[in-house]
Structures are given as C-alpha cells and as structure tokens.
Amino acid sequence: MATKVVDLRSDTVTKPSEAMRAAMAAADVDDDVLGADPTACRFEAEMARIMGKEAALFVPSGTMANLISVLAHCDARGSEVILGDDSHVHVYEHGGISTLGGVHPRTVPNNPDGTMDVDRIVAAIRSTDGALYYPTTRLICLENTHGNSGGKCLTVEYTDKVGEVAKAHGLKLHIDGARIFNASVALGVPVDRLVRAADSVSVCLSKGIGAPVGSVIVGSKAFIQKAKILRKTLGGGMRQVGVLCAAAEVGVRDTLGKLADDHRKAKVLADGLKKIKHFTVDLTSVETNMVFFDMADPRITPAKLCQALKQRSVLAMPTSSKSVRFVVHYQISDGDIQYALTCIEEAVEEILACDAKSERCSTNGTS
C-alpha cells in the first residue's frame, strides 16, 4: 500500500490536476514557431491582461524567463545589471546571464525582508563618467516574493520607489515574479498594480499555481518581440506548445484563489514548529507559503531531521547548515500539516534519543 508522501520541499512539486489533464488532452494546437499556436496565443493574451502589460511569452522555465529578460534589456555589449546578492537569478541560475549572456552582475545586499536599500541601489549605478573603466548599468532586478529570505513580499510602495530610481537613471526594471501572485494575495494588492513600475516580469505557472511546466514573461510589445527571438536562440521555441498552455490556463483559473489558504497553512505549520523548543521560528517572517526555521539544538542537524522525516514520508529541504525550509502548496491538506507536525515531533525525539545512546543513526546522505 502506497503511503501518501507529504512533499514540502517546494511548490514546484505540484502535479497537474484532472482538469489540467483534460485541458491538455483537448487543447487546440498548432505550430507556434512557424505560425502561432491558438491556445498559447490565448493564454499569453490573458496573462498580459492580468499583469497589466502589453504582451506575454510562454517559456519552459523561470530560469529561461529571467535569462531572456536580462538579455533582452541588456543587449548591448558591456552591460551591467543590479540585483540582490541573495537573489534567485544570482544564486541559482548558473550565472547564465554572464556565462551565456555576457552581462556583468553588480550585487547589492538583500535585507531580511527581501528588499535592497534604495540608497545602495543608487550607489551601485555606474557613473557614465567612468565609461572607460565601468560597464554600463542598464537594468535593476527585484524578486517578489523573495525566496531566500523566506518568501517575503516587496510592497507596492517599495517597488514603485525602485521603479522611480530606474526611470530617473534611464534604467529598466525587471521583477523576478516567480511567486508574484503569492505577494499580491498576501499584500492585498492587485497583481497589475503591484508590478506597474516594472518594464518586465517573469511569472511561474509551475509553482503554487500548479501547472506541470512553464513560466510567462510579460512586458511591452517591443520587449516581447526581442524576447521571442532570444527564446528561440536559447532553444525554447516549442511547437504545439498549447498542450502546456492549456494546463497553465487552468492553473491560473483554478488555483489563484487557493493561494491565501497556502499562506494560512504555512502559519499553522510555523505555529506548531514554534512549540518545539529545539527550533527557532520567527512567526512574523512567515508572510506567504514558506517557513524557514533554525535548529537551536546542536544535536539536531537539518540533514538528520530531513532524513528522519523522509522515513515518515514527509519531505523537506535543508537550506543551510542550521536551517530547514518548508513550502506549502494547494496539494498539501490541513491534515497533511498536522501529520507533518506530528512527524517532526517524533523525528526530534528519535534524533535526541539516538544521540543520547551515542549510537550511530542511519545516514543516507541528504544535503
């Protein structure tokens, strides 16, 4: 008998719903490279409308969405982009903007709330006087919600302020909005208002929204035209791609309304974790669907905890030598949350008991 696995490693693990599967099977498709796939067209138009931009482009992944956006904004040799030192683009995308795109990154420290200080952003903008030594700053990137700081929301006021800075200096603003809908829901700000200051946004469909594959980039018509060519160059030009867009369309229709629940479940999880004295949890820092917590007790390591949980069919992700991350999504039920908390308590007892006996606990290498 298969036990249900409670997968809290990421919201990327969401599997396509029955409605998505039916939509994929029935999708009206055509060759999106030679001409235009009708389902892709419809979906892209709808996403542009929702995000308040002129046009949109479906791409296989968030990594490609960000890569295309940076390369499209920075298409002159010798370009530099300002972004957070703890941003997904800088840390988890293989440095592709540089290794493939020849764009130089200039990082600014990310604060615990996901922002970068505005004065530090301004200070990082290269003066044109130094053109003999300096690359040319062309772009600022924000990330909303900000993943590594715990799924934190950047406010519309902050976003607008950075937008003003960009404009005043002749720069573009791109938002890595992989989880922008989570931010919109948590802040109570319509998503088009939230990203109004941005020239482009990348939005993931395969995370909390639950589609099997893909992201979408939104921006001006001229930007999306450039993006389309870059997408083809990178190898993201897919043929009858409407099969994927059909599922994404269902995701946007059916799952956006469930994000608030994910945030509630994350808070329940955090509350439960707070009661365990071996952990440190900052409840105020749980803004959306992510919970980060630290091990306060040196006998318990993230690796040991995740292994013990795995044996109980609960999956989590160690995020540093001292912390673990849980990510909640709509395929995690309230019952799953309670089950996870029970397992965590059991796992802690097991690890401490193991330690007390000075026995070697079984290790099978989670990192």
Residues that bind another protein (CB under 8 A): 9-10, 12-13, 15-16, 21-22, 24-26, 29-31, 33-36, 59-61, 63-65, 67-68, 93-94, 96, 99-101, 206, 212-214, 229, 232-244, 247
Nearer to another protein among residue 16 and residue 150 (C-beta)? 16
Q: Are 180 and 217 in contact (CB under 8 A)?
A: no
Q: CA 91, CA 139: separation in Å to the nearest integer?
A: 18
Nearer to another protein among residue 238 and residue 348 (C-beta)? 238
Q: CA 20, CA 9: separation in Å to the nearest integer?
A: 22
> Which ranges of the chain does DSSP label H, i.e. alpha helix?
18-26, 38-51, 62-73, 88-91, 96-99, 118-124, 156-168, 180-187, 191-194, 221-234, 242-255, 259-274, 302-311, 334-356
CB of 326 to another protein, least distance (A): 14
Nearer to another protein among residue 165 and residue 259 (C-beta)? 259
Nearer to another protein among residue 47 and residue 166 (C-beta)? 47
Nearer to another protein among residue 13 and residue 189 (C-beta)? 13
CB of 311 to another protein, least distance (A): 17
CB of 361 to another protein, least distance (A): 24
Count of positions (residues) in the chain: 367
CB of 92 to another protein, least distance (A): 10
Q: Are 216 and 202 in contact (CB under 8 A)?
A: yes
Nearer to another protein among residue 29 and residue 347 (C-beta)? 29
CB of 70 to another protein, least distance (A): 11
Q: CA 17, CA 162: separation in Å to the nearest integer?
A: 38
- How many H-runs (helices) and E-runs (strands) does the chain carry? 14, 13
Q: CA 307, CA 330: separation in Å to the nearest integer?
A: 24
CB of 194 to another protein, least distance (A): 24
Q: CA 5, CA 22: separation in Å to the nearest integer?
A: 24
